Amino acid sequence: MSAPLLRVENLRTYFHTAEGVVRAVDGVSFTLGPGETLGIVGESGCGKTVACLSILRLIDPPGRIEPDSRISLRDRDLTAASEGEMRSVRGNEISMIFQEPMTSLNPVWTIGDQIAEALRTHRSARPAEARRRAAEMLRLVGIPNPEQRLDEYPHQFSGGMRQRAMIAMALACDPSVLIADEPTTALDVTIQAEILDLLARLQEQLGMGLIFVSHDLGIIAQIADRVIVMYAGQVVESGTADELFGRPRHPYSEGLLRATPRVGRRMRRLSVIPGSVASPKRWPPGCRFHPRCPYAWSRCREDVPPLPGEARASRCWLEEEPARRTGGWDELALAEDH
């Protein structure tokens, strides 16, 4: 593999609140190559969004990126960069789009102004030139009549159109990394597909690295080259999309896959993973997934399993004792039925 574009090592983002330390992201590592799409999957509350915001250092107090975390873009250490340097990275080298297109655009400024703003900040573009480029971007993301729509306000755009505008805004400065945090979750299914196609096409066209965050495995399977699965602030499994979806190794990934409805596969009932993610203030001891794991045995409750390697790995004691993989989700579902 070529030199990674973005490398995140042992990222820990903690929120130091009055009620205690919330370990939202707790030792996450991954890399992203140029032109590659990395999918991040996990239930809500597992730390996906905080991890993404940490890359751009957009964490507000009491949140803090802990000292020995390291985020590097090519060879630059972003955790050590000054706030000014960081600003020149945001929206310029690394861009981000968010889940809620309805609230992520400023209602009182025109779409054109909001797109041109990034160009004027990072490229010192003149107003006319920024405007021309903004129109170009709108055309690129498939918005008809871009010249005219530049002067419209967000409330005049539909949800899907707003997300396109957000993408146009994020890509205006030709970033080398685009972080998309659940960009399709708030949209209708048909529009979801359009946005996905658009992102895939743009990535191919512009050759940027894409981090695509979602809780929807179907979407991740469609767009990602490599996938990491997050649970309770940690990476529990990583691998290529084919590997992970073909043969998941971590019980959590296994459970997630089972919880995803698929066309053409008749299911007696849609299985879900019982319980919910524990409070990030007090993660369970040992393996953080053990309270919800169908295979868990004494070791899981006491010892923290490691994540060996990066390319293909599973943070689970089953890796060392594969013989214990018996029963599992089916038995659990059966038990629940009775």
Partner 1 sequence: MTAYIVRRLIQAIPLLLGIVTLVFVIVHAAPGDPTAMYVHPSVSPEVIEQMRENWGLDRPIHIQYLRWLRSFLTGDLGVSLTQNRPIVSILAERIPNTLILSGTSLVLIFAIGIAIGIVQAVRQHSTLDHTLTLSALFIYSMPSFWLGLMLILVFAHKAHLLDWWPAALTFPASGMTSVDYDLMSGWGKLGDRLHHLVLPSIALGVASAASVARYMRSSMLEVIRQDYIRTARAKGLPERTVILKHALKNALLPIITLLGLYLPFLFSGAVLVEYVFAWPGMGRTIVDAISQRDYPLVMATSFIFAVMVVIANLIADILYAVVDPRIRYE
Summarize as ranges the residues that interact with partner 1 (CB under 8 A): 53, 56, 58, 87-92, 95-96, 98, 100, 103-109, 117-118, 121-122, 153, 155-156, 166, 169
Min separation Cβ 122 and partner 1, Å? 6
| Closest CB to partner 1 among residues 89, 213 | 89
Report whether 126 contacts 87 (CB < 8 A). Answer: no
User: Whats the size of the chain, residue-wise?
Assistant: 338
| Closest CB to partner 1 among residues 98, 245 | 98
Residues 306 and 287: their CA atoms lie apart, in Å, by 9
Residues 222 and 220: their CA atoms lie apart, in Å, by 5
Min separation Cβ 86 and partner 1, Å? 8
| Closest CB to partner 1 among residues 48, 122 | 122
Min separation Cβ 88 and partner 1, Å? 6
Min separation Cβ 145 and partner 1, Å? 17
Segment holding 133, helix H or strand E: helix 127-140
| Closest CB to partner 1 among residues 153, 283 | 153
Q: How far apart are the first and last CA of the chain?
A: 50
| Closest CB to partner 1 among residues 115, 257 | 115
Min separation Cβ 161 and partner 1, Å? 16
Residues 159 and 94: their CA atoms lie apart, in Å, by 24
Q: Which of 257, 246, 230 lies closest to 314, judged by CA? A: 230
What separation in angstroms does the CA of 195 have from each of 18, 33, 144, 163, 234? Answer: 41, 22, 15, 8, 28
Residues 228 and 241: their CA atoms lie apart, in Å, by 9
Min separation Cβ 63 and partner 1, Å? 13
Min separation Cβ 151 and partner 1, Å? 10
Residues 161 and 142: their CA atoms lie apart, in Å, by 9
| Closest CB to partner 1 among residues 100, 243 | 100
| Closest CB to partner 1 among residues 58, 311 | 58
- What is the amino acid identity at position 191? I
Min separation Cβ 290 and partner 1, Å? 35
Tell me the residue ranges of DSSP E strands in the chain. Answer: 6-17, 20-32, 37-41, 63-65, 70-73, 76-77, 94-97, 177-181, 209-214, 226-231, 234-240, 313-314
| Closest CB to partner 1 among residues 206, 221 | 206
